Chains A and B, each alone.
Chain A
Amino acid sequence: KAGVTQTPRYLIKTRGQQVTLSCSPISGHRSVSWYQQTPGQGLQFLFEYFSETQRNKGNFPGRFSGRQFSNSRSEMNVSTLELGDSALYLCASSLKGQIDIQISPLHFGNGTRLTVT
């Protein structure tokens, strides 16, 4: 079974631009979560989607948004990029959206490394 697929793997953007990242979850997984990873802050939760609905949102500004499609694929958008947005963006999927170890833990994709110059 294919894992979580994220595209692109690397992105270089300039301040003020916007960017869209894509994530295809493991087949059958309906929940998709997004995390930002930086050396200083570690892994921080951005948001989670389940059945095309955003169920949870982390403490990020409104410039960060996302959506999920009917096939469970998800996209994340960052507008008006800032230097501090440079990070590894990780997408993770789980089977039913409950991070319950008896059902399905989070499975991470390889990430998109975004560099803002």
Chain B
Amino acid sequence: QKEVEQNSGPLSVPEGAIASLNCTYSDRGSQSFFWYRQYSGKSPELIMFIYSNGDKEDGRFTAQLNKASQYVSLLIRDSQPSDSATYLCAVNDGNNRLAFGKGNQVVVIP
């Protein structure tokens, strides 16, 4: 089973600040990486994906990938209360399935 690790514990950020989430993965051959957001009681929704080393920006979200160090991160700029959710890192394990981390809870404080 491919492993995907995310930092434990909730992340509290003041409104307008940057939230930074990190994820490491064990399979050096992994090719594509996803960030899902899950509100309490809801299903995961895709917010970002990345497959090339470097940064990818989409609105207030930036995904960063470093394959050599086997980590992928997500930055949320200008955090809003509506960003309060659990963020799930997922890695395509090469067998048509995603391996998920256990998630990071983000709490944006107004």
Contact = CB atoms under 8 A, between A and B. Distances in A.
A105 B97 contact: no
A100 B44 contact: no
A64 interface: no
Interface string A80-92: 0000000000100
A108 B39 CA distance: 13
A107 B46 contact: yes
Interface stretch (B12-20, B21-29, B68-76, B100-108): B100-108
A111 interface: yes
Nearest to A44: B100
Interface string B79-110: 00000000010101001111111110000000
B32 interface: yes
A63 interface: no
Contact of A48 (B1, B49, B96, B101): B96
A56 B97 contact: yes
B34 A105 contact: yes
Contact residues on A (Cβ < 8 Å of other chain), bracket:
20 to 34
Interface residues of B, number: 24
A45 B101 CA distance: 12
A58 to B, nearest CB: 7
A92 to B, nearest CB: 8
B97 A58 contact: yes
B51 interface: yes
Contacts of B100: 35, 42-44
B43 A33 contact: no
**Which of B42, B46, B88, B97 has most A Cβ within 10 Å?**
B97
Contacts of B99: 45
Interface of B: 1, 32, 34, 36, 42-46, 49-51, 88, 90, 92, 95-103
Given A33-B97, A45-B98, 20 more contacts: A31-B96, A41-B102, A43-B88, A43-B98, A43-B100, A48-B96, A48-B97, A56-B97, A58-B97, A59-B1, A90-B43, A99-B92, A99-B98, A100-B32, A101-B32, A101-B34, A106-B98, A108-B36, A108-B45, A111-B43
